[in-house]
Each structure stands twice: as C-alpha cells, then as structure tokens.
Amino acid sequence: MISSLKNDSPKFVKTVAYCIMPTHFHLILGQIGNNGISKFMAKVLNSYSRYFNLRYKRKGPLWEGHFKNVLVNSDEQLLHLTRYIHLNPVSAGLIKKPEDWTFSSYPGYLSSKTDGLCEYDGLFNISSKEYKKFVNSRASYQKELSKIKCILIEDYTG
C-alpha cells in the first residue's frame, strides 16, 4: 500500500499525513491541480486492488464504496486531524504509543527524517517535542471515545 502511495507520477497530491490500519487507512492530502485527489485516489485504489487480487487469486472490487473526504479549513483543524489519525492505532488497541506504529507518518513528525512520502517539514509552527506532547495529551481521551463508540454500535445493532 505504501509503495502505491509513493508512486504518484504525475504529481496529483501532496501527502501531509497517513496511517494505514489493518482494515482501513487515513490520508491527509493537499490537492495539486484540478481533481488531483480524485485522480490520486483512483490510481492508488485501483493499483492496490489489482495487486491484492493477483496476490490472493481473487476477482472483484476490494473497496467498500467511494472514499470519504473532508475539506480542511484551517491550520488548527489540520493539526487536530493529524493527531486523530496518528492516534488511530492506539485508539484501536493495537499499540500503546503512536510512535510504535510502523505504517504511519507519526515517526517522521517526531524526527527530521522524511519517509519519502510525506511533506510535513515546517507544516506546523511547533517543534517535534511539542507535537508529541500535543498528540499524547489526547491519547487516553480518544481511546475512551473509541470504546464508547463500540458500545453504542453494539447497543444499536444489538
């Protein structure tokens, strides 16, 4: 999946953050040109579906419906959105610390090393130490919300 994201030629988007989970993924993308995000997503989803179907000798669609998107209107909203996706594996109970998740842009946010996928250098006016503190300040709250969501879904579908 990550190789599909890196192979963006011609360049349709700027990848700001990502987190790939076992059953879904989150991307924060900046659009370059008209319909850049739609073109990029079509390319990524089609190429990964092709790979997966060949690998597991299957046919048919892999994805459930159209991708969901949200327009980010401010730097503050973007900052909170990156925190949400970087905490996703913690909220799901897969790991204890977000920096332990290999399939995420979070480790790159904490160091000066780029992963070759994201363009986050200088994105926010805070240091990597401050960003880590910002993310961790919400970790337990987000995990509790995730538990409540599961309970509500179970009660609703019950």
pLDDT tens digits, one per residue of 3-37 = 555 555 678 899 999 999 998 899 999 999 899 99
Spatial neighbors of 42 by CB under 8 A, at least 6 apart, are none
Choosing among 1.10.10.10, 1.10.540.10, 3.20.20.140, 3.30.70.1290, the CATH entry for 2-157 is 3.30.70.1290
Q: How far is CA 30 from CA 1, 119, 122, 125, 144, in A?
A: 19, 10, 15, 18, 30
This prediction has a pTM of 0.80
- Which of 104-108, 114-118, 148-152 is the least confident region? 148-152
Q: Are 105 and 117 in contact (CB under 8 A)?
A: yes
